[in-house]
Amino acid sequence: DATSQISSLNKVKEIEFWKSSFIKSLFIGVPMFIVNNVFPATDLDSSWHIFHGLYMESLIEWGLASYIQFGAGKFFYINAYNSLKHGSGTMDLLICISTNISYFFSVLTILISFFRGSDKTPPKTLFETAVLLINFVSLGKWMENKAKSETSSSLSKLINLTSTECTIVQEPENFDLNSVNQVMTIPINYLQINDILEIKAGEKIPADGFIVSGESEIDESLLTGESLPIFKKESDRVIGGSINGVGHLFVRVTSTSENSQFSKIIKLVKSAQMNKAPIQSYADYVAGIFVPTIITLSFLTFICWIIICEVLPNPPAVFNNVNGKLYICLKIAISVIVVACPCALGLAAPTAVMVGTGVGASNGVLIKGGEVLETANNVDVLLFDKTGTLTIGSMIVSNFRVFGDWAESLVLELVGAVEAKSEHPIGVAITKHATEVLGPLNTVIDSSEVKIGKGIIANVSLNGKKYEVAIGNLKTFSDDFLKENTDRLNVDSDNTVAHIAINNQYVGYLELEDAVKKDSATVINFLKYEGYEVAMVTGDSAKAANKIAAQVGIPYKNVYSEISPYGKEQLVRDFQSRGLKVAFIGDGINDSPALAQSDLGIAIASGTDIALEAADIVFLNNELKLNGISSALSISNSTLRRIKWNLFWSCVYNMTMLPIAMGVLIPWGIQLSPLAAGAAMAFSSVSVVLSSLWLKRWTPPDISKY
């Protein structure tokens, strides 16, 4: 359910586990550290000798350290075992090795003291090192998981919009606006298509549907990034997960909650956050050889310092320790293992991808993972579809002309019926115009054939008569037909023209015009300023295409007109054959071939019609605006820069700290203790996550000045 999903995303269990582990190891580790490192320098230092080289404080430390080592530290054993079982090494394996060396070295010194029967001083152990290492790592893991929970905050907010219950009309088939309708509350899982929901002011809308009664302002901000509520009235579509304003609505369900666009968005964002960026393969490769390399370096460091201490008559001052040279050499070797941090490398890309895709989703830009983010940074050409992308896509009939003896009402009713089931903006506009002029259409469609990128040919029955109706651009008709009607077909217009033939006789045409989105010109100018090559492709005539290109600022040489959907795909191939990376931006209705062929497919969703499959990036709430493209490219650039910075920082950290831990500064009296190494390692992991969280400060680029 939603609660468990949010709990998982927010790392609730992990945060509690590491918090508990940190507190336990802190209460045990700090007193042990004080007893071993502070008391010896004061009058409080005293030992309780039991018998034959065995001391009470040693036994107490052994017991407490065992509790932490095999209690709070069991996580490291489990993960280390699993990583070895899969033939890989992780930070958990390094922690396991270093704490075990400290722990079992201490056990060995106690046993040697006991068998030798020493009664002068307690044996020097490293129990506090093992305990405090687990303490520092637990603190780091606690902070890391708290930071990680923030990387999923956008997704958590989306999931939190999921309803668990809903109120429905008991008899939807008898729904009557003018009478009291009996309602009941049911679990959201029982909701079915065609149920009628009652949604009161301030309630979440449980599923996709359309309003059958009422009007209100709907808050879709978490779904589309649109900050202002959107006014919705009867017959308007609503998206599940959006929030009703002050109105009282009745909504007929068109898809159940698990199949709603909202659920698809959540699944897409989840999948995107798991999708690796190609640059991460570098980090994975390094991490794969990192652990065995560190273990080897630690062993060689130990051997080298042992040899140096034996060969040099006056070894460095740090070795003049009451506990002996072996003790110091062992601590240096442990520091090498502890300070190394493959975790920082492993977190560099995934955390940035999680935050980047989450930020995109909260701004109405759905980005399908790390690979898409990286591809977006390599794009050379932005190829825009015209209708519904650069333009609003809500076309209107501006001129209707009929030739011969044909009645305008008959022709309009026939073409309106033929286009009734079309999703193309031209077809929608023609049917809308026909119904506005004539009212309900009584025509029966016997059969129809959609010629993609051209038009529609249909057999129609009306008042007992049958007609063959063809409507579309010039490519809809045969060469012979075009020759016979050359003069009439040559319409001098810079609008979109739909020609009409009935029973193979040319009868007239419709002119349609579309408005450019208010920010199209600004976005195009911004993209050109950023160095992208911008082009436009359309199935429209050259005149109509050039008219829109002039309004938005696309050079005429980059305008491709009268191109079919498959011609658009070939155009993408042509750009790619020149070695260019192409992003195709379309409305997701008839652009699937080009979206799939392009290096980066970008679909602009209309209402609840979200083309999630063919595109790599989907914009929500861009029916009237185009600024999603600038936001998507900006998020991609920012995320990839953050990944590169994280990888750079991780490499610099390891390349700096490893030599220090190995003792390169020992000749100058500086030695990195295991505890300091543990703190540095924890800081490294947390800093990478915090660096990725900086992406949450991202703001859309200011395109108003272009």
Question: 621, 604 in Cβ contact below 8 A?
Answer: no
Sign of the alpha-carbon torsion through 400, 406, 412, 417? negative
Q: Rounded to whole angstroms, how far apart are CA atoms 318 and 320? A: 6
Helix, strand, coil share of the chain (percent; to 5): 55, 15, 30
**Contacts for 291 with CB less than 8 Å, ≥ 6 apart:** 88, 89, 90, 93, 94, 342
DSSP, collapsed to helix, strand or coil, labels residue 402 as strand
| CA-to-CA separations, 604 to 2, 116, 608, in angstroms, rounded | 28, 80, 11
Q: Rounded to whole angstroms, how far apart are CA atoms 380 and 449? A: 38
- Helix residue spans in 49-126 (DSSP H): 56-67, 74-85, 91-116
Which pair of tokens denotes residue 390? 């650069």
Q: Rounded to whole angstroms, how far apart are CA atoms 273 and 268? A: 9
Active site residue 385: yes
Q: Which residue has the tokens 């969703």?
A: 605
Which pair of tokens denotes residue 148? 């990680």
Reported as type and span, the H/E element at residue 210 is: strand 209-213
**Contacts for 387 with CB less than 8 Å, ≥ 6 apart:** 393, 395, 425, 426, 496, 514, 538, 540, 587
Selecting among 195, 208, 219, 385, the annotated active-site residue is: 385
Question: 107, 94 in Cβ contact below 8 A?
Answer: no
Catalytic residues: 385
